[in-house]
Structure 1
Amino acid sequence: MQVTIEAVSGVARRLNVSVPTSRINEQFEARLKRTAKTVKINGFRPGKVPVNVVRREYGAGIYQEVVNDTIRDAVFEAIQQEKINAVGMPNIEKVENKDDALVFEATVEIYPEVDVNGFTDLEIERKTTEIKDADVDIMIENLQKQRQTWADTKGMAKKDMQVTFDFEGTIDGEKFEGGSAEDFKLVLGSGRMIPGFEDGIIGMKKGEEKVIDVTFPEDYQAENLAGKAAQFTITVKKVEKPQLPEIDAEFLQVFGLSEEDGVEKLKADVRKNMEREVKSGLRNQVKQAAFDALVAANEIEVPNAMVAQEIDRQRQQMVQQFTQQFGAQGAKAFDSSVLPDELFKEQAEKSVKLGVLVSKVLQDAKLEVDQERVKSFIEDMASSYEDPTEVIEYFSTDKQQREQIESVVLEDQVVDHILASAKVTEKEVSYQDLLAEQQARQQG
């Protein structure tokens, strides 16, 4: 077998392969004989069918099978012979018989060979934050809000109050589907309704009726309503103001504390959890900044096969998130196949480029996972659980879970390696801004 190689692009090679016809003929004859021992043909006993009869009846099909198998085997032999680091399946073209040989072309994508630029020109922003007493107070207030109750008020409806009302909507004087409801509950300021709807209710009192004018957004999910002006008749039945629970023995018990522990112990525990979240958030922020800078400074070409695999992975990840949010039945109704590749392509290409670059950094720097950092990572994560020892045991002994943590730690080591040479500037941000940024990143 003869093989020649030419570069089609930075990540694609064309193999010109020539296989002697004698190799195909030998395999063809051998397969005819094997077939003659098993094939059933009327007039012949099993295993006694003459080869020439098999040749006449099945020869064309068997020969094509041999050719297909030969091409498949020859491609992988050529890849191995030429030490090609292939990704994805080869694309076979121009198959023909020529000068006592079967010749064909096979285009195969290869793993990118890259040289990572130095890190000294990378500009990376590392954010820092300090948890203030006011941040802790806000967090405790949020915990109270999660358990708040509602109390009737005769006053006007304001933001953060809950209003129970009936509404009936019309467009050009005609009612429309989904435009009316009774005893509808709404916390003003929650943003659940179309723009202008909640603003129209603010200031109303129990028993009051009012007509408000609103316009459906141009991108509203119901196309028959998108961009249209509507009127809603609002009848308020109840206005309630929020009541936060007292930080008493019952409230403290929810968080595993006694009345003797008091609010100061609650604040200390809340601060500890916030510090843990901040540590994780800052680590993720600087990791993202470092990786973004790394990708931006190294323009590389990546194989379509790797991008396609990453698109499939991200699509499956979306299905998993959908399952977690809406349950198995909701996920079953969600057809991920309708999601176009273009929806994932940009992020998939960036992810593949980053993976290639990080692998090269690991190789060049000869970095290996620091088991002490893995141990510290597991202990820090376990500290937020009621029984840290059990959690440490689980993540230390479960092979799959430990490998995932080792992967995260190794990424952190790559980031530290980059930061050691890069131009790093620090920017102090408030805890609230850091939290908002982290939530936006998770939603995006």
Structure 2
Amino acid sequence: MQVQLETLSNLERRLSIAVPMAEIDAKAAERLKRVARTAKIQGFRPGKAPLKIVEANYGPQIREEIIGDTVQQSFYRAAAEQKLRVAGYPRFEPATGEEDKENFRFAAVFEVFPEVAVGDLSAAEVEKPVTPVTDAEIEKTIDILRKQRTRFNYVERAAQAGDRVIIDFKGTIDGEPFAGGSSENFPFVLGQGQMLADFETGVTGLKEGEGKSVEVAFPADYHGQEVAGKTAVFEITLKNVSEPLVPEVDAEFAKALGVADGDVEKMRAEVKKNVEREVKRRLAARTKENVMQALIDSTKIELPKALVEMEIGRLMDQARRDLEQRGMKVKDLPFPPEMFTAQAERRVALGLILSAVVEANKLEAKPEQVKALIGEFAESYEQPEDVEKWYYESADRLEGPTSMVLEDNVVEFVLSQAKVVEKDVAFDALMGSNA
């Protein structure tokens, strides 16, 4: 096999390869003989047709398959011999120039992985959020849990803030009904902002069976463009008023949260442990994001176009699956690749940089680290040992925790090298995020 390597740009290469035709002929003849042993050809028993007839029927297909295999195998063997780290898939082209009857010639154009030189991390500044968990945060969380278990009891009085009401309403604009402007037996809680303020003001103070005409001005930026900036008149009839009953912090409440014996102090301790775990997770996620940005900012890197295009394809497929799971039909929905380009470039860059940092500093995930992380996952389940067993039953299932440990190792390494600036983050701001 003859190989010639050309550098087309920083990352793009061309390998010109020549494989002796005799080698291809020999492989084709060998495969033809194997096929002939079982070939079914009309007029002959299986495997009994003359070789020339078998060749006439199967020869072109076999030769095409052999050439395809030869192209793939020769390319990756040549790339290995040249110590090339191929990024993505090569583009194969027929050779140009004089005809060569002795050799099968082709060329492969491809990209290689860039050399990644991580910048000076000691010059980087990484913000590390800090959120203390005090008794006030625990009480606030318990209060939220109480409100989540609110029950509503029917009352015979005028509706007020906090009540759940059931109404019928019919809306018109300039005397004409509009889409979404009418409903029957519609429930909502007053004071939670589910409806426009003018609408809720009109309902407040009504008693069961009473009706009222309410004028409601839709904001100019209202999500329903057909009514945005317009004024509607709603005819409202109140059908039911129920007042909220928030449970007390007692044994029954503790049992509802999973404390079998109803011990309120045990419940508080469990809530505290869960809150601290969630705060820790969210702080770690924010710190990790800041570390990743510091790595990107500190490292100049040219990205292989092939890897970016592959990542764009993955992101597009993921977006389609997400929309399909929500019940949307996306078969003919256009997904412009440029929508995903920036995200794909960031992910490819981080993948290359993380790989370089891990290799250079020996930050691979250790088995004991993976085990400890899985233990943290399992801790919030009733049968943690079953969760741990589930992870260790499959190497594929271990990939997720292993990747997380590896990223955590990188985060700790970067924090040890960079200038870390702690920043207080309010509990509500942290827990209100989707981290």
Q: Matched residue of 1:420: which SS?
A: helix
Cα deviation, residue 307, structure 1: 3.2
CA contact (8 A) 1:163 1:188 kept: yes
Cα distance in 2, alignment partners of residues 102 and 260 from structure 1 = 80
Cα deviation, residue 57, structure 1: 7.2
Residue in 2 that maps onto 1:179: 181
Q: Deviations over 1:164-218 (max 9, x none)?
A: 211223344332344311110112455555x566555464523241233344876
Cα distance in 1, alignment partners of residues 42 and 369 from structure 2 = 70
Match of 1:209 among 208, 212, 221: 212
Query: Superposed, which structure 2 residues align to 1:377-392 within 5 Å?
Result: 377-392=373-388
Match of 1:134 among 133, 136, 140: 136
Cα distance in 2, alignment partners of residues 46 and 258 from structure 1 = 74
Cα distance in 1, alignment partners of residues 30 and 255 from structure 2 = 80
Residue in 1 that maps onto 2:91: 91
Q: Does 1:2 align with 2:5?
A: no
CA contact (8 A) 1:14 1:106 kept: yes
The one-letter amino acid paired with 2:293 is D
CA contact (8 A) 1:395 1:402 kept: yes
Q: Deviations over 1:338-358 (max 9, x none)?
A: 462444332232122112111
Cα distance in 2, alignment partners of residues 98 and 54 from structure 1 = 29
Cα distance in 2, alignment partners of residues 429 and 178 from structure 1 = 41
Residue in 1 that maps onto 2:115: 113
Cα deviation, residue 125, structure 1: 0.5
Query: Superposed, which structure 2 residues align to 1:291-306 within 5 Å?
Result: 291-306=292-307
The one-letter amino acid paired with 2:302 is E
Q: 1:336 to 1:376 in 2, by over 3 A?
A: farther
Q: Does 1:428 align with 2:424?
A: yes
Q: Deviations over 1:102-142 (max 9, x none)?
A: 33321123333211112111111001111232222221111
Q: 1:140 to 1:418 in 2, by over 3 A?
A: same
Gaps of 5+ in 2: none
Q: Deviations over 1:392-416 (max 9, x none)?
A: 5555666444443233222211111
Cα distance in 2, alignment partners of residues 254 and 184 from structure 1 = 29
Q: 1:394 to 1:64 in 2, by over 3 A?
A: closer
Residue in 2 that maps onto 1:415: 411
CA contact (8 A) 1:215 1:229 kept: yes
Cα deviation, residue 257, structure 1: 3.6
Cα distance in 2, alignment partners of residues 9 and 172 from structure 1 = 67
Match of 2:106 among 98, 104, 107: 104
Q: RMSD across aligned C-alpha pairs, in angstroms?
A: 3.7
Larger deviation, residues 248-257 vs 406-415 = 248-257
CA contact (8 A) 2:40 2:46 kept: no
Cα distance in 1, alignment partners of residues 57 and 394 from structure 2 = 58
Percentage identity across aligned positions?
A: 33
Q: Matched residue of 2:121: which SS?
A: coil
CA contact (8 A) 2:203 2:236 kept: no
Cα distance in 2, alignment partners of residues 257 and 57 from structure 1 = 75
Cα distance in 2, alignment partners of residues 247 and 17 from structure 1 = 77
Q: 1:220 to 1:301 in 2, by over 3 A?
A: same
Q: Give TM-score, length-normalised by structure 2.
A: 0.82
The one-letter amino acid paired with 1:19 is V
Cα deviation, residue 363, structure 1: 0.6
Cα deviation, residue 6, structure 1: 2.3
Q: Give TM-score, length-normalised by structure 1.
A: 0.81
The one-letter amino acid paired with 1:418 is V
What number of residue pairs does the alignment pair up?
427
Cα deviation, residue 91, structure 1: 1.0
The one-letter amino acid paired with 2:429 is D
Residue in 2 that maps onto 1:271: 272
The one-letter amino acid paired with 2:308 is V
Cα deviation, residue 234, structure 1: 3.8
Larger deviation, residues 353-362 vs 340-349 = 340-349
Q: Matched residue of 2:122: which SS?
A: coil
CA contact (8 A) 1:169 1:230 kept: no
Cα distance in 1, alignment partners of residues 213 and 87 from structure 2 = 66
Residue in 2 that maps onto 1:307: 308
Cα distance in 2, alignment partners of residues 123 and 426 from structure 1 = 10
Cα deviation, residue 265, structure 1: 3.8
Residue in 1 that maps onto 2:126: 124
Q: Matched residue of 1:115: which SS?
A: coil
The one-letter amino acid paired with 2:297 is A
Larger deviation, residues 123-132 vs 83-92 = 83-92
Q: Does 1:75 align with 2:75?
A: yes
Cα deviation, residue 92, structure 1: 1.4
Q: 1:191 to 1:24 in 2, by over 3 A?
A: farther
Residue in 1 that maps onto 2:157: 154
Cα distance in 2, alignment partners of residues 384 and 35 from structure 1 = 59
Cα distance in 1, alignment partners of residues 425 and 80 from structure 2 = 54
Q: Matched residue of 1:299: which SS?
A: coil
CA contact (8 A) 2:199 2:216 kept: no
Q: Matched residue of 1:417: which SS?
A: helix
Cα deviation, residue 285, structure 1: 1.6
Q: Deviations over 1:226-279 (max 9, x none)?
A: 7473524141413444221122332222124477733x4433322222111112
Match of 2:358 among 356, 359, 362: 362
Cα distance in 2, alignment partners of residues 387 and 154 from structure 1 = 48
Q: 1:48 to 1:240 in 2, by over 3 A?
A: closer
Residue in 1 that maps onto 2:234: 233
